[in-house]
Amino acid sequence: MVIREVGLLFRGFTLVKKSFHKTTVGKIDADLRSGLLTALLNFAETAFSTGSVEYFQGNRFTIAFINSTIISEDSMEPELLLSYAIIDRQKKIDKFIRKTINPLLQKVTQEFKSQNDGKNLSEVSQFKNFKTSLDKIFGSSTKVVDQKLDGVFF
């Protein structure tokens, strides 16, 4: 299982994302995609009243989510912070998401909150350095089989 992309969304915008492998052909507006993901997740949770949605599964990819809250400098109330991972579709994905992806996403969320809770979150360029944290947290789970074998034999 390969993790293709991870990121954090706040108020429908991408705070930080790290793409490990392309998931689309061509350029997609990051803000439009972030807004759509946030809207879909909010709709699904409201419409089905089952609590938090853990993932959406498509023909090729699965998008896993973790909901959390964070306080922004311009708000007194905690607001929704979404962390997500785009992974390859596979059978029996529930266990993989529960045991592998969710703990990693929770670690990302906790680390991001520890560094940025109570700060101004509207200037996203300040989070570029957080991409190195994403690399460290996700490590080898972002590599395809060929990349893993390259390190073993050479």
Q: How far apart (Å, rounded) are the C-alpha atoms in residues 70 and 127? A: 15
Per residue in 74-122, pLDDT tens?
A: 988 999 899 999 998 888 888 889 998 999 999 999 999 999 998 999 8
Instruction: Write down the pLDDT at residue 12.
Output: 87
Q: Identify the CATH number of the domain in which residue 122 sits.
A: 3.30.450.70
Structure tokens at 125: 């360029």
Token pair in block for residue 10: 């706040």
What total number of domains does the chain contain?
A: 1
Could you report the per-residue pLDDT of 130-139, keeping only the tens digit for each? 988 888 888 7
Asked if residue 135 lies in contact with residue 6, where contact means CB atoms within 8 angstroms, the answer is no
β-bridge mates for residue 61, sequence order = 88
Q: DSSP readout, 44-66?
A: HHHHH-SS---EEE-SSEEEEEE
pLDDT single digits (tens) 22-60: 665 567 777 788 888 888 888 877 777 666 678 888 888
Q: What's the pLDDT score for residue 111?
A: 94
